[in-house]
């Protein structure tokens, strides 16, 4: 099956044999909207730096709904989509829990702000490592599909470094910018999976990476 960001299919998954809808756009929208809201605070839009408003989205849309979409990806035989959406659903649930006073995670550090920031940095760098694995799985897919995870990986890296050096706010702002780019590509891929000639005047045509095997095969056929 050809790689396509609208189905979160990097190119190796089989054609679904069950009659289910495509859960990828739902998961992508949940991820994109939650990321957008959080990263607007990271870039200090209108002077706001408190991201607490994202917590509701983190639990219910980016968290629970995206987790459901990930489970449905497993039902349509897309291991990559299931791993990505379920994992990031878990990310948003866990991050919202960190920001929720009732869990007592932040308060457990008391006055040890350095220890809290260090552990948050390690937490984000762990997600950087995980996302890097996903990036490797999209190198032969499409441009927008690859850029979604590549920009997200950079966002995790800079946001993690920003926690290690909290006095250097520019690092966190850079991470927020990459996060906003990732949110944009999430919405872009979601639209690609939703729009067709029957419901939209605009249909996105996937742009494969230069070394995409399907693109290389088509070029070979044209040359012969």
pLDDT at 221 over 60: no
Residue 3 pLDDT > 80: no
Q: Are 10 and 142 in contact (CB under 8 A)?
A: no
Q: Which residues contact 34 (CB under 8 A, 6 or more apart)?
A: 54, 57, 58, 61, 62, 63, 66, 92
Higher pLDDT, 45 or 11: 45
Rounded to the nearest integer, the mean pLDDT of the chain is: 89
162-179 pLDDT, tens digit each: 999 999 999 999 999 999
Q: Report whether pLDDT(29) > 70.
A: yes
Q: What is the pLDDT of residues 134-151, one digit of tens each?
A: 999 999 889 999 999 999
Locate 185 and state its tokens.
Answer: 């590509």
Three-class DSSP category at 21: coil
Nearest CA-CA partner of 169 in 52, 78, 41: 41
- Pairwise CA distance, residues 158 & 121, whole Å: 10
Delimit the domains of the chain by residue range: 5-223
Average pLDDT over residues 102-108: 93
- Distance, CA of 32 to CA of 3 (rounded, Å): 20
With the CA atoms of 114, 115, 118 and 122 taken in that order, what torsion angle do they form, in degrees rounded to the nearest 10? -170
Q: What's residue 206's pLDDT?
A: 80
């Amino acid at each position: 099956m050809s790689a396509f960001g609208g189905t979160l299919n990097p190119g190796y998954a089989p054609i679904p044999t069950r009659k289910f809808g495509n859960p990828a756009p739902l998961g992508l929208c949940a991820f994109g909207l939650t990321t957008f809201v959080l990263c607007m605070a990271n870039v200090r839009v209108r002077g706001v730096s408190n991201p607490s408003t994202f917590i509701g989205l983190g639990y219910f849309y980016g968290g629970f709904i995206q987790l459901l979409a990930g489970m449905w990806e497993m039902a349509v035989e897309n291991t990559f989509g299931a791993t990505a959406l379920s994992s990031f659903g878990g990310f948003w649930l866990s991050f919202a829990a960190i920001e929720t006073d009732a869990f007592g995670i932040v308060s457990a550090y008391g006055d040890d702000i350095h220890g809290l920031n260090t552990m948050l940095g390690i937490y984000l760098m762990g997600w950087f490592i995980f996302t890097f694995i996903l990036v490797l799985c999209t190198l032969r897919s499409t441009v927008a599909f690859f850029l979604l995870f590549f920009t997200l990986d950079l966002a995790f890296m800079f946001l993690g470094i920003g926690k290690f050096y909290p006095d250097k706010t520019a690092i966190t702002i850079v991470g927020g910018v990459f996060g906003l780019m990732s949110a944009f590509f999430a919405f872009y891929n979601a639209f690609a999976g939703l729009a067709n000639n029957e419901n939209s005047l605009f249909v996105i045509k996937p742009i494969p990476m230069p070394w995409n095997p399907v693109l290389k095969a088509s070029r070979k056929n044209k040359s012969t």
